[in-house]
Amino acid sequence: MLHDFQSVSTMSVAGEWKTFPSVDVTDVVRLAGVIRRALSGRLGFGPGAVLIAWSQGLAERYAGEGGVVLNLLVIRILLVIDRDLSVHILRQPPSTSTYLPGALKRQAMAFLAPQALTIAHDQEWIQWRAFNEAVLSPGAPHPDRAVFLPRLRAAFEAPCHSLVDLRQRLTVAMLAVVFAGVPGSLSPLVDAGLANDVQRMADLVGQPLRRFLLGPFQGRRRQRIYRALGEAWRASSSHSPAGCLLARAHSAVPTADLAAADLEALLQQLPHWMFTFGGSASLLLGRTVVLLLAQPVLLAQVRAELNAVCGTNGPFTEDQIGRLKLLEACLQETGRLYPPVALTLHHTMVGDVHAGRRLPADTEILQLLGLLQRPLRPSIEASEFQPQRWLEGAGGCPFSNLFLSGARACPGKDLILFVLKTGLAVLLARPQLALPHAVFNGPQWPLCFPDRLIRFAPVS
Ligand code: HEM
């Protein structure tokens, strides 16, 4: 299928579309060099940093080519190095006639929820996208946020000193938002056990080797999850708890008498609403706290905003949360430099042409968000952390994909920003915390965020 980005001027003399270049021996030698730098400690923080550093080299070498083909042993993947191509792919609804979610992503997510929106396409995607939007209210403040606020405040009351603590707090927040549960009030069906089961399966979705080794033994866990979700759904249809996503979901389905197949697909939308709290949201929250504690001047500005908007013991109202613009900008900027969702995969079955280059049919496409939304440098300059770019009138950042752009942009964005701002406001209102390490104190920050260093010590 041909798209409007076609440019006749970039056709070859023979009148055929150009192809994308492939990595060659020079690139493989460079990869060895990047690995050597990583092993000698000069790159820092694992395979993610190696991948980013190497792909930055590719982006420099093949600048202007749009993408470069990685010939891996069993699969060919097009690595997108150009934002224009990225925007082109992202803006189209997932379809067999344009771009599908990537085959590797479909395989991974199908392990937990084969009919999840994030791997759906064509008619199924349109149907479940509308359902997800009706429940999550993207692009607008969530209608239940006033009901959520006191529950969220309570969830963040307990002290937090690590990523594990933040994950626990956000799991409590998730149970409150999705099921209207507060600890002690949840039905035995929808308790922390269900959250734990979903989180463990979701962790395996993101880890191919562990999924390969442990996946075959997760059948019972999967059955337990869907049995509990099914019972929670049925119980809530007769007595729908007010102010939660489950209640919204009941209003969003056109009929109370769902066919069994539709109910199964509906229940498969729920895990995504759950694991994102303990997954990407915890990482974004933890990374933001670390970057704020590492920058005392900015932290003081954020605290001043909190004081001015919420007073000493707030936040008390959803309107106050809405006015915490600098706090939100810090979350956005952290996510631009250190995106918790590190990559996105697409697949074209039919092929495409973009800016005069032909994407062959049956191509898997990789977009590394840490490559596309930062300048090409071997480390991040601390001075690059500029939350001001997100404040009103500053124009934001045209190339941030923290929540993805285009047709499949995250429908939970506004809801989770509300949750995270409330959490941060409560955390930062407490007595001071400090970082027990100096990784972010210098002028240069690592390419990948060292999540094991998300630890905060109370100031003595
Ligand atoms: C900080 C937390 C979050 C981040 C960084 C985030 C980011 C993203 C990104 C990057 C995608 C696109 C993934 C891809 O296609 O490869 C996505 C999709 C999605 N997100 Fe989020 N998300 C977050 C929280 C949430 C929450 C809390 C919910 C629901 C309650 C949610 C629901 C979804 C859904 C349903 C999709 C699939 C959309 C579609 O394919 O049409 N997300 N999110």
> Nearest 5°: phi and psi at 343?
-150, 165
State the Cα–Cα distance between residues 423 and 169, nearest whole angstrom: 9
Give the mean pLDDT of 402-419.
96
Q: Which atom of ligand 1 lies nearest, measured to the CA of 407?
A: 41
Q: How confident is the model at residue 258 (pLDDT cuts 50, 70, 90)?
A: confident
Cβ–ligand 1 distance for 136 under 6 Å, the answer yes
Kindly report, residue by residue over 44-63, the tens digit of the pLDDT: 678 889 999 999 999 999 99
Which residue would you say has higher pLDDT here, 247 or 184? 247
| pLDDT > 80? residue 255 | no
Using the 8-state DSSP alphabet, how is residue 281 labeled? I
Give the mean pLDDT of 250-273.
87
Give the mean pLDDT of 193-213.
92
User: Ligand 1: which residue has its CA nearest to atom 16?
Assistant: 344
Enter the pTM of the model.
0.93
Q: Are 177 and 240 in contact (CB under 8 A)?
A: no
Kindly report, residue by residue over 310-351, the tens digit of the pLDDT: 988 777 899 999 999 999 999 999 999 999 999 999 999 999
Give the mean pLDDT of 104-126.
96
As for how many domains the chain has, the answer is 1
- Parent domain of 429: 125-341+378-458
Q: How confident is the model at residue 15 (pLDDT cuts 50, 70, 90)?
A: low
Neighbours of 3 (CB within 10 A): 13
Flag whether 348 is in a domain: no
Lowest-pLDDT range of 6-20, 330-344, 411-425: 6-20
91, 344, 410, 449: which to mutate for ligand 1, most atoms within 8 A of CB? 410
Q: How confident is the model at residue 5 (pLDDT cuts 50, 70, 90)?
A: very low
Flag whether 70 is in a domain: no
Neighbours of 340 (CB within 10 A): 20
Flag whether 346 is in a domain: no
Cβ–ligand 1 distance for 284 under 6 Å, the answer yes
CATH number of the CATH domain containing 416: 1.10.630.10
Flag whether 361 is in a domain: no
User: Ligand 1: which residue has its CA nearest to atom 18?
Assistant: 410
| pLDDT > 90? residue 79 | yes
Question: What's the length of the chain?
Answer: 460
Q: How confident is the model at residue 182 (pLDDT cuts 50, 70, 90)?
A: low
Question: Which stretches does DSSP call E strand in 2-75?
Answer: 18-19, 67-71
| pLDDT > 90? residue 242 | no
pLDDT of residue 460: 67
Which residue would you say has higher pLDDT here, 417 or 32? 417
Flag whether 208 is in a domain: yes
Flag whether 60 is in a domain: no
Cβ–ligand 1 distance for 129 under 6 Å, the answer yes
261 is written with which tokens?
A: 């197949």
Which residue would you say has higher pLDDT here, 456 or 430? 456
Flag whether 149 is in a domain: yes
Placement of tokens 């504690």 in the chain? 293
| pLDDT > 80? residue 200 | yes
Give the mean pLDDT of 438-448.
91
Flag whether 19 is in a domain: no
User: Ligand 1: which residue has its CA nearest to atom 43?
Assistant: 410
Which residue would you say has higher pLDDT here, 7 or 144? 144
Mapped onto helix, strand or coil, the DSSP state of residue 37 is helix
119 to 106, 233, 272: CA distances (angstroms): 5, 23, 11
pLDDT of residue 8: 33
For residue 261, report the distance from its CA to the centre of ligand 1, in Å.
Answer: 24
Lowest-pLDDT range of 72-76, 154-158, 318-322: 72-76
Residues 6+ apart with CB under 8 A from 455: 161, 162, 163, 435, 436, 437
Q: Are 74 and 390 in contact (CB under 8 A)?
A: no
